Structures are given as C-alpha cells and as structure tokens.
Amino acid sequence: MTSTTLERKKRLRLKRKLRVKGSLFGTDAKPRVSIFRSNKYLYAQAIDDVNHKTLACVDGKKLALGNNKEDAKNIAKAFAQNLKGLGIHEVIYDRNGYLYHGVVAAFAESLRENGIVL
C-alpha cells in the first residue's frame, strides 16, 4: 500500500473511534471492554472509566495466539473467565474504531457464548 492509502485508513479509523467513544463510558459494575488489533496479535482490557483503572486484561501474545477468528474466540474465552473471576457479568463493548466483522465480531460473539452480556 502507498503511504497516502495508509494515512487515509488511519484517519478514517480515528474518526470512527472518536465518534463511537463519545457515547461509551464504563463503570466498576459495567466496565468498558476495549480491544486492540495489531498485525500479529489481539489485546483486550476491561476499563473502569470512573476511577481510571484497568480491571482485567488479556494478551494474545502471552497466550501464544494470533490475530484470526479462531484465536480471537480462544482469547475471548480466557478473557470471559478472567471477568467472571472478578464478578463481572455485563460489559460495554468498545470496538475501538474497528469495523464490526471478522476478528472483532468473533471476539464479541465468543464473549456472549461464554456468559458475558454485551
């Protein structure tokens, strides 16, 4: 890809991120789950925006899982167990400007399948 195409993609993702983030706010009882996709790995964290604290996190790199649909389901399963251990059963899903398909959708669906309400 050319540099102008990459800059355009970054700019559009940032616009989506800011547009969606304005309406999302996590609390201690219902934290915001934010995901991040790199080219190789998938990361997620549960954030309490009131106290500015990260309550739980999962790292695809530490789990030796990549950035595809099957690995996203396994990462979400581990994350759901972590959340349940903290007594959290309901969250707000922040897709962080990524389009809701593929890996992002697979992660959310797997959270739902493992008992977390989005």
The predicted structure's pLDDT at residue 55: 94
The predicted structure's pLDDT at residue 20: 76
The predicted structure's pLDDT at residue 24: 77
The predicted structure's pLDDT at residue 107: 97
- The domain segmentation of the chain, as residue ranges, is 3-113
The predicted structure's pLDDT at residue 44: 97
pLDDT in tens, the chain (118 residues): 789 999 999 899 888 888 877 777 777 789 999 999 999 999 999 999 889 999 999 999 999 999 999 999 999 999 999 999 999 999 999 988 888 999 999 999 999 999 999 9
Q: CA of 71: how far to CAs of 10, 40, 42, 46, 107, in Å?
A: 25, 11, 9, 19, 9
Tell me the residue ranges of DSSP E strands in 3-115: 32-37, 42-48, 53-59, 92-94
CATH architecture of the domain 3-113 equals 2-Layer Sandwich (3.30)
pTM: 0.86
The predicted structure's pLDDT at residue 100: 92
